Every structure is written in C-alpha cells, then in structure tokens.
Amino acid sequence: MHTQSNYLENEKNMDIEMNKYLDVAESVYQNIHFKNQSSKNLVDCLNRLLVEIKKEAATNNLQLKYTVIDFENCLSQPMKERVVKIDLSLLPNFENKHEFILWLTGFIKSISVSKNYYF
C-alpha cells in the first residue's frame, strides 16, 4: 500500500512538472508570436526561443542547465558530439502551433531543471 502511494505521489509530481514545462512553452510561443519574431533561419529562431525561455524560466521556478547554447555549432556537429543532445531536425514549423508547442515543451524540459528539486 505504501509503495502504491509513493508511486501515485511521484506520478502527480511528474504531471505538475510537465504542466509547468507546457505552460512555459505556451508562453514562449505566444511571446514570439505576439512580437512577430518567428524566423525562417533556424539558428535565429532557436536563439530567439532561448531568450524567451530564459525570461519565462526566471518567473516559473526553472533553472536552465546552460546559460548559452551555440546552436550554430550544435547544427554542425554529430549528435554524440553536441553539448545539448537534442535532435533539431525534429523542430516543426512555427506556424504549426500545437505541434511546435509540444516540441518546445520537450526542449525546455531537456535544457532545464525545476528549482523545486533543490530544496
């Protein structure tokens, strides 16, 4: 019984964390869309995303694992040599809002840690 209770508590905490990442992703998307900052240039798009992610992370109790990400370098190296291990070929078109937000949620999760885990 105690094990099942711990499992359910862990599941609840994971849901809360994923919702936090999803909320941040939605805010980042809306901020970029509102400012009309989407870009066809992949590196420019990723840099703008990172700027907005940093702003949202500060207000949503997230700690970024990286202060700077050299996306140009990431795109020119094989996956196993990259500092940030994310397949950028899976990045959907910005105009596909829901698909983009889901991708962005996973990206934000991969480059951040909830500050709640430090306490």
Tell me, rounded to whole angstroms, the distance of Cα 21 from its chain centroid.
7
Tell me the torsion sign for CA atoms 110, 104, 17, 64. positive
pLDDT above 90: residue 35: no
**pLDDT at 75 (0 to 100):** 82
How far, in whole angstroms, is CA 24 from its chain's centroid? 8
Q: Is the pLDDT of residue 13 over 70?
A: no
pLDDT band at 49 (very low <50, low <70, confident <90, very high): very high
Whole-model pTM?
Answer: 0.81
Per-residue pLDDT, 28: 96
Q: How many helices (H) and strands (E) does the chain have?
A: 4, 2
Domain span at residue 54 reads 2-118
Whether the pLDDT of residue 118 is over 50: the answer is no
Find tokens 């990259």 and name the residue. Answer: 82
Q: How far apart are CA 92 and CA 36, in angstroms?
A: 17
Q: Which of 24, 74, 21 lies closest to 46, judged by CA?
A: 74
For the ranges 8-12, 18-22, 81-85, the lowest mean pLDDT is seen at 8-12
Count structural domains, the chain. 1
